[in-house]
Amino acid sequence: MKQIYVFVFLLLAAGTLSAQRTLTGSVADETGNALIGATVVAKGTNVGKVSDAEGKFSLAVPDGVNTLVVSYTGYQTQEVDVTGLRTVSVVLLEAAGLLTELVVTGYSEVESKKLVSSVAVVGAKQLENIPMTDVNQLLQGRAAGVYTTANSGQPGAQQQVRVRGTGSITAGRNPLYVVDGIIVEQGNFSALDAGTNAVDVLAQINPNDIETISVLKDATATALYGSRGSNGVIVITTKRGKAGKTLVTVKAQNGVTKPNFGNFELMNAEEAWNYERKVLKNSGRTQEQIDATRPASMLDNTTDWLDEAFNDGKTYNVELQAQGGNDKTRFFVSGGYFDQGGILIGSDFNRLSLRSNIDHTASDRLSFGLNLNGSYSQQNNAVDGNRFQSPIASAFTTTPLQGKTNPATGLLYTGLEDDYIGLTGDNFLYSLPLNTVDVNTFRLLTKLSATYKVLDNLSFTQNANIDMISVDEVDYDDPTTADGVNDRGNLSAAYTQNRALTSQSLLRYFTSFGNDHDFDAMGVFEYQRTNFKTFNAGGKGFASGKLKTLDSAAEPNFVGGNQTDFAFISYLGQANYAFKQRYRLTASIRRDGSSRFGANNRWANFWSVGGSWQLSDEGFMSSVGAINTLRLRASYGTSGNAAIGNFDSQELYGFGAAYQNEPGSSPAQIGNPDLTWELSKNFNAGLDFAILDNRVSGTVEYYNRKSEDLLLNVPVSATSGFTTATRNLGKVQNTGVEATLNLKPFKPNRAGGFEWEVGFNISFNKNKVLELPDGEDILNGFQVFREGEPIRAFYLRKWAGVNPANGTPLWAADGGGVTGTYTSPLNLRQIVGNAEPDFIAGLNNTFTFRGLSLTAFFYTAQGHEIYNQSRAFMESDGLRFGWAHLKTANVHWENPGDIAARPQPRSGGNNGAQNSSTRYLEDASYIRLRNIVLGYDLPAAWMQRAKLQSVKLYVQGQNLWTQTDYSGLDPEADENGNEFFRYPVGKSITFGLDITF
Amino acid sequence: MKNIKIVPFLALALFLAPACEKDLELNPSQSLSTGEALSDVAALKTALNGAYDGLQALGYYGRGFLVLPETEANLAYLSIANSNRYVASYTYQWTTANGDVTNVWDNGYTAILRANNVINNVDAVPGDAAEKNQVKGEALAIRALVHFDLVRFFAKQYTNGNPSTDLGVPIILTAGIGEPARNTVAEVYAQVVADLTAAKALLRNNGAYRFSPEAAEALLARVYLYKGDWANAEAAASTLIGDSQYALADNVSAMFGGPGSSEEILTLKNEASENRGSDNLGNIYIPAGYGDIRVTDDLRNLYEAGDSRATLIFKHTNDQYYNGKYMEQDGVVGLASPKLIRLAEMYLIRAEARFRQTKTVDALADINTLRTKRGATALMSFANGFTDILHERQRELAFEGHTAFDYWRTNTDMVRNQCGTSVQVSAPCTMSATSNLTVHPIPQTEIDVNQNMVQNEGY
């Protein structure tokens, strides 16, 4: 066997055995610094070398070759004529602008000018030093076609990301995340807590460790990810060391976040007291009854609950980064501690993260890389939802007429007292410090990579990756609080472990023939197996809140646990061909098998083709001097969405129901052995251009993405015992136009001169449901899925104002006119809005002068609506008596003839006026100054004296200014467009210092 | 030759590929395929427990179905400061999207599916015949109970309409997804009687927490009463009254302190481990919980001095009166095991059946047996006619899920004497027994997916 390999390689090697001469030289940048690790290749051959620690190389150049090709990441590739030379000094110029950067597409990296697919790239410059917990927050407005929203201001909470619209109704809609080439986990792994504030494991990655983020959008890019690519792919590449002097950077940040409630304003105690007396009076209560229910004495002990619940959150960040190396070994290491206090009391997030990326070149043929990233975070979660202690529900809804302290004792009310009239029966000011929700997450993300060059143009890479997540959490309810009183205190503890193992084998090949033909190809085998395990236990009966362990419980309360698995096996092939570097073609195919799919449909094939044409390199264009780059691109292909439950295809009985403490079982789901992935067909066409000396450059793209065989939880008759069944039915289409524009209105003539750079992107997406089972509507809360309408179409009765005669509500009636009855058929509902914006845009302006720089980043989303359910509760015309009320509720119908926006408030509400209707649907368009940074780089002359590389000081603000007509807390809502007492996003100011030596 | 190093890499890749393809056939760890889950008697017993668990759903006997007949009537009022639960039922502002109504429908049919899977699989599995009979009998009785509850909730009452033409609910006897039309009220009652009769013959007594032949008989007594089949109602009730294993409780407070009283014929047992916290049944009634639903003067005024049942109502520091039937169980606040059928109801059923058959003396004797046991004075006559029996039912069965049904099936208009006070939510003070609003809307979710479903009048 051995002999055969030896023989084959000898044959292949024979091709290079010919006459040659030895050439020595050096590579440096414009300032004379040696470039270490630059690639030097004899043109038209596979003979090449890498420059050493002094930037020097020695190359055996075959006879007849008189040109060297010298390339280095971040620099323009240069061809050097070496006719008759024995030594040569090469000076490389820095690459300018995005257009010549390397774009990482997960399985490979491509020079941006050779890119056929649609990829948005966000570089480290835009990611660095922004005090946010996870990468998704940083993407907002930075990449065309990416729509990011925050539904919660809880530090570390999950963000929602949609790439080129919403492509599915019930299956997952999040993009796939790839870190350093490997598909990784995302989302919430907490077993006890699944609310909107739950921590996202992506928050375990330190944004300052990221070199670039590429968002893959079209078929040629996403087809490589087959059954998991259809929602787009976010490819994160972490920083790696460069050979040269070791650079050490110390970063420090200190900031503060202030609560911000937008246009949302509550009545103070006196206003609420007057309002509720008015409600009683309107309901025909006698003065005596009114005085009894709302006596003046209620004003003696009042509370501004919002003021109590929200305060300034402090942010600290300290970090150390070091990178360097020689021609053999390069390293990047970093360690950081990030601590962000929430604006809501009792909520915060802190993270300790360590990273080391090492690359070693063992020989001309063999190289290794090891990435190690370990991080540990602690989140104190301001639980939302139905828990008594939730400060979110309590702060917004508790009446200001309730004092926080009990006048009889001078102590805080617990909420259990008979005279406590707060809605939830719990005073969060008392219970929150006692009842804790701690979520501790550890994530280890590590990858070993080995590459062996079989031939100069054939390499084999084996990657092995471990993504290990463990979550350890403890919930405690003190015996003296409403949540704990029944159990005399209770504690729940859970431990969860998620393990994803990936093996990836890649074979890469490239060749050129003639002068004009370049060809490369890649074959990949990938295997991923994921196991999720959790167990939890609870105890009750606690003597003291200081003993937060299960051992301290008087008796056990519950014990539970489960585990689940899934696996993917994939084969992937891709080929690229270029003619004269002007015409490019690419084609790919991927075959995926998944344990999630039904037995009848376990394997899927996905494919794509694409091409590009570099017009600007054509002879007929050379006369048009103003045009630097002009390139047309187009692609078509398929990808899939496999984001469904692990066992959705099986008909199952579940165990967990119990009667008389004996085990019980019940049908858990209706099976469907045909169940399979959703299929997405994508067309993309784009134009890249750069004109006027590259001072104006950009991209315009059109796409049409059709998702078919949607995995739908189709509603079925409840007489079956189920309300939904999962089937592959339905089609959704997203079409859109995206534009990115980079301008350099002012370019300095000399170093340090005034410079102005503008980055702008805008994305229009039109979403439409094309097909539903039997063409029937599917109701979705305040929305409906209906053929021909967008996925997030609001479906509500139309509010027709207030009857001036008697102050009762009116709605639009059937066949025109108005009606005062809400209970008439609900099919009077109409499509009245869309929760997804017509367009989103980001505008970044950077001004630099001498060491000073000012960057202002605006973000806007326009043309979407939010159903303001918080307002439906707090402006409910007397229905929610004894709650807090919005200030606006006070303006209402009073006398016959009044044209009023709000009906007369009455006890029990006014004829159901608070029922869902367009009364609470609002335009939520907004413009926000998302980020503004003022920075100062200390002069280089000082640095040399101080023996430092650089010192940078900066101050930056987040969300400092917002323009919106929306009356609620924040116009930025998740895709459901439903605002319901959420954790608001604050405004923050941060000071920072970077020192590099 | 350095190139040899490629061999281990290629080997790694080539051997890994086929080795992991079997990994695509993974199975869950918490669930079994339906075939495996129903393969023997033990498995069917487990599935039967699942059916009982279905009855305990929050929207059904967990709380909703027991509370709605009270908030729709006059013995309880909804406090003006409330957690926004059951407002539509108290104010009669029904929409077809009402969650409480939808839950009764969904939870009911879920329980029926669980029972059907037992009934339709039990004959084929190996096992002891007596055990199989017991499992099948309990499942049949559960199926009957749910169909009966659905028909009296979603259709006109048998005794207050035209049962042979009035639309009832779909009768579901097998598993599967379909778009069934509504059977008539008479057809549903016929199925209920058939299932209960079959169940009675198969069952043996396993205590009050599961269906026994006695429980099936007692449920039949109630079904006959709702049908106006007075003779059968009297006969069935008499069987229970004559059964020495049941006796009226000596102390009502003790009876409502937890399950296990001598009166109980069928009780849905809730264990401490099934604690739902604030959603425990009792917490909707008591100040320690939501305390939204409180006791009206209408009910308090029904009790004379000495009537022990009045002690189940308590006055709180805010001078409001609360229902004390579901205070706590096993030390868990608000936890309760609802007594679905108890002996006192049999006396009331027989009294009503006898009254309707003009056996007035016997009817009076039944009422007085109960009154005397409860410390109230014996009635000399039915001075107010049937109203005396209705009031006795209210004194005895208040907050046990009967009140509104009793008005509608007897075609008695509901009048809230305590109405419009400052402590309660504004709501209609009267409701005609023939109003469309006394019949609940078929849930919109069902109308949307079932082409054969017909909505009730007025929605």
In this complex, do A908 and B87 lie within 8 Å of one another by their Cβ atoms?
A: yes
Task: Decide which of A116 and A804 is more confident.
Answer: A804
Other residues' Cβ atoms within 10 Å of the Cβ of residue A820:
16
Q: What are residue B237's phi and psi, to 5 degrees?
A: -65, -40
Length of chain A as a residue count: 997
Task: Decide which of A279 and A626 is more confident.
Answer: A279
In sequence order, what E strands does A651-786 have?
652-659, 662-669, 678-691, 696-708, 711-715, 724-728, 731-746, 755-771, 778-780, 783-785
Q: What is the pLDDT of residue A787?
A: 94
In tens, the pLDDT along A665-716 reads 888 877 777 888 889 999 999 999 999 888 899 999 999 999 999 888 788 8
Q: What is the pLDDT of residue A635?
A: 94
- DSSP three-state, residue A232: coil
Q: How far is B329 from chain A (nearest CA, A)?
A: 11
Cα B113 from chain centroid? 16
Question: Mean pLDDT across the stretch B396-408?
Answer: 97
Q: How far is A51 from chain B (nearest CA, A)?
A: 22
Among the residue ranges A738-752, B22-36, B45-59, the one predicted with the least confidence is B22-36
Residues of B within 8 A of A526 (CB-CB) are none
Q: What is the pLDDT of residue A8?
A: 39
Q: What is the pLDDT of residue A388?
A: 57
In this complex, do B93 and A720 lie within 8 Å of one another by their Cβ atoms?
A: no
In this complex, do A505 and B12 lie within 8 Å of one another by their Cβ atoms?
A: yes
In this complex, do B54 and A722 lie within 8 Å of one another by their Cβ atoms?
A: no
> Quick check: A812 and A828 in contact, CB under 8 A?
yes
A503 has a chain B CB within 8 A of its CB: yes
For the entire predicted model, the pTM comes to 0.77
Q: Is the pLDDT of residue B35 over 80?
A: no
Q: What are residue A634's phi and psi, to 5 degrees?
A: -155, 145
Task: Please give the Cα distance from A721 to A723 (Å, whole number).
Answer: 7
Among the residue ranges A64-78, A338-352, A366-380, B398-412, the one predicted with the least confidence is A64-78
Question: Mean pLDDT across the stretch A455-481?
Answer: 90
Question: Which residues contact residue A401 at a Cβ distance below 8 angstroms, ignoring those fewer than 6 apart?
Answer: A269, A272, A273, A276, A294, A298, A299, A302, A421
Sequence-ordered alpha helix ranges (H) in B38-98: 41-55, 64-71, 87-91
Task: Decide which of B9 and A122 is more confident.
Answer: A122
Task: Please give the Cα distance from A282 to A277 (Å, whole number).
Answer: 9
Mutate one of A603, A659, A774 to test the B interface: name it (highest B CB count within 10 A).
A659
Q: What are residue A244's phi and psi, to 5 degrees?
A: 135, -165
A556 HSE (CA, 13 A, CB side)? 5
Interface of A with B in 348-407 (CB under 8 A): 363, 365-366, 386, 388
Other residues' Cβ atoms within 10 Å of the Cβ of residue B210:
23
Taking alpha carbons only, the member of A395, A382, A380 closest to residue A426 is A395
Task: Please give the Cα distance from A357 to A334 (Å, whole number).
Answer: 9
A541 has a chain B CB within 8 A of its CB: no
> Quick check: B428 and B91 in contact, CB under 8 A?
yes
Q: Is the pLDDT of residue A16 over 60?
A: no
CA distances from B438 to B73, B430, B458 (A): 10, 12, 11
Angle at alpha carbon of residue B149, lines to B144 and B155, rounded to 5°: 120
Among the residue ranges A189-193, A513-517, B233-237, the one predicted with the least confidence is A189-193
Among B7, B53, B112, beta carbon nearest to A658? B53
Mutate one of A3, A294, A486 to test the B interface: name it (highest B CB count within 10 A).
A486
> Quick check: A360 and A371 in contact, CB under 8 A?
no
> Quick check: A769 and A791 in contact, CB under 8 A?
yes
Residues forming a β-bridge with A314: A256
Q: What is the pLDDT of residue A389?
A: 60
Task: Please give the Cα distance from B211 to A72 (Å, whole number).
Answer: 82
Other residues' Cβ atoms within 10 Å of the Cβ of residue B171:
21
Question: Mean pLDDT across the stretch A51-62?
Answer: 83
Mutate one of A462, A653, A785, A915 to test the B interface: name it (highest B CB count within 10 A).
A653
Q: Is the pLDDT of residue B10 over 60?
A: no
Other residues' Cβ atoms within 10 Å of the Cβ of residue B244:
5
Sequence-ordered alpha helix ranges (H) in A255-310: 269-282, 287-293, 305-309
Q: How far is B281 from chain A (nearest CA, A)?
A: 14
B134-B138-B140-B144 Cα dihedral, nearest 10 degrees: 150
Residue B16's pLDDT band, with cuts at 50, 70 and 90, is low
Q: What is the pLDDT of residue B1?
A: 40
Q: What number of C-beta contacts closer than 8 Å exist between A and B?
A: 277
Q: Is the pLDDT of residue A183 over 70?
A: yes
The type of residue at A393 is A
Task: Please give the Cα distance from B153 to B149 (Å, whole number).
Answer: 6
Q: What are residue A427's phi and psi, to 5 degrees?
A: -95, 105
For the purposes of burial, counting CB atoms within 10 Å of the CB of A792, is it exposed (0-12), middle (13-18) or buried (19 or more)? Answer: buried
In this complex, do A776 and B448 lie within 8 Å of one another by their Cβ atoms?
A: yes
Q: What is the pLDDT of residue A96?
A: 53
Task: Please give the Cα distance from B96 to B112 (Å, whole number).
Answer: 22
> Quick check: A957 and A992 in contact, CB under 8 A?
no
In this complex, do A569 and B20 lie within 8 Å of one another by their Cβ atoms?
A: yes
Q: How far is A780 from chain B (nearest CA, A)?
A: 10
Cα A256 from chain centroid? 23
Task: Please give the Cα distance from A748 to A768 (Å, whole number).
Answer: 47
Q: What is the pLDDT of residue A391?
A: 81
Task: Please give the Cα distance from A427 to A433 (Å, whole number).
Answer: 11
Taking alpha carbons only, the member of A381, A346, A392 closest to residue A194 is A381
Residues of B within 8 A of A822 (CB-CB) are 93, 95
In tens, the pLDDT along A429-438 reads 988 888 888 8
In tens, the pLDDT along A292-317 reads 889 999 999 999 999 999 999 999 99
Q: How far is A743 from chain B (nearest CA, A)?
A: 48
Q: What share of chain A is helix, strand, coil (3-state, %, to 5)?
A: 15, 50, 40
A801 HSE (CA, 13 A, CB side)? 9
DSSP letter, residue B173: -
Taking alpha carbons only, the member of A606, A609, A744, A614 closest to residue A676 is A606
What percentage of chain B reaches a pLDDT higher than 90?
80
- DSSP three-state, residue A835: coil
Question: Which residues contact residue A8 at a Cβ distance below 8 angstroms, ignoring those fewer than 6 apart?
Answer: none
Cα A481 from chain centroid? 36
In this complex, do B422 and A668 lie within 8 Å of one another by their Cβ atoms?
A: no
Q: What is the pLDDT of residue A196?
A: 60
Among the residue ranges A50-64, A648-662, B284-298, the one predicted with the least confidence is A648-662
Task: Decide which of A695 and A196 is more confident.
Answer: A695
Q: Which tokens go with A835? A: 């929760």
Q: Are strands A678-691 and A662-669 parallel, antiparallel or unpaired?
A: unpaired
Q: Is the pLDDT of residue A218 over 60?
A: yes
CA distances from A304 to A309, A535, A838 (A): 9, 41, 38
Angle at alpha carbon of residue A230, lines to A229 and A234, rounded to 5°: 55
Closest chain B residue by Cα to residue A364: B2
A73-A75-A79-A83 Cα dihedral, nearest 10 degrees: -90
A670-A673-A674-A676 Cα dihedral, nearest 10 degrees: 90
What percentage of chain A reaches a pLDDT higher than 90?
43
Task: Please give the Cα distance from A922 to A833 (Å, whole number).
Answer: 9
What is the gyration radius of the CA atoms in chain A, in angstroms?
32
Q: Is the pLDDT of residue B309 over 60?
A: yes
In this complex, do B450 and A717 lie within 8 Å of one another by their Cβ atoms?
A: yes
What does pLDDT average to over chain A?
Answer: 86
A24 has a chain B CB within 8 A of its CB: no
> Quick check: A414 and A480 in contact, CB under 8 A?
yes
Closest chain A residue by Cα to residue B207: A660
Residues forming a β-bridge with A159: A150
Among A566, A718, A907, beta carbon nearest to B109? A718
In tens, the pLDDT along B313-370 reads 999 988 899 999 999 998 888 999 999 999 999 999 999 999 999 999 999 999 999 9
Question: Mean pLDDT across the stretch A470-493?
Answer: 87
Q: Is the pLDDT of residue A35 over 60?
A: yes
DSSP code per residue over B386-429: HHHHHHHHHHHHTTSS-HHHHHHHTT--EE-SS-S-TTB----S
Cα A164 from chain centroid? 13
Residues of B within 8 A of A882 (CB-CB) are 80-81
Task: Decide which of B113 and A552 is more confident.
Answer: B113
Task: Decide which of A52 and B209 is more confident.
Answer: B209
Task: Please give the Cα distance from A672 to A388 (Å, whole number).
Answer: 40
Task: Decide which of B212 and A198 is more confident.
Answer: B212
Among the residue ranges A392-406, A458-472, A653-667, B142-156, the one predicted with the least confidence is A653-667
> Quick check: A320 and A248 in contact, CB under 8 A?
yes
Taking alpha carbons only, the member of A616, A703, A539, A612 closest to residue A146 is A703
Task: Please give the Cα distance from A803 to A810 (Å, whole number).
Answer: 6
The overall longest dimension of chain A from CA atoms, in Å, is 113
Q: Is the pLDDT of residue A325 over 70?
A: yes
CA distances from B53 to A536, B208, B210 (A): 23, 16, 12
Other residues' Cβ atoms within 10 Å of the Cβ of residue A625:
10
Q: What is the pLDDT of residue A100?
A: 52
Residues of B within 8 A of A870 (CB-CB) are none
Task: Please give the Cα distance from A871 to A129 (Å, whole number).
Answer: 37
Mutate one of A719, A873, A877 to test the B interface: name it (highest B CB count within 10 A).
A719
Q: Is the pLDDT of residue A158 over 70?
A: yes
Task: Please give the Cα distance from A177 to A174 (Å, whole number).
Answer: 9
Q: Is the pLDDT of residue A15 over 50?
A: no
Q: What is the pLDDT of residue B17?
A: 54
> Quick check: A438 and A474 in contact, CB under 8 A?
yes
Mutate one of B7, B12, B30 to test the A interface: name it (highest A CB count within 10 A).
B30
Among A418, A564, A593, beta carbon nearest to B318? A418
Q: Is the pLDDT of residue A732 over 60?
A: yes
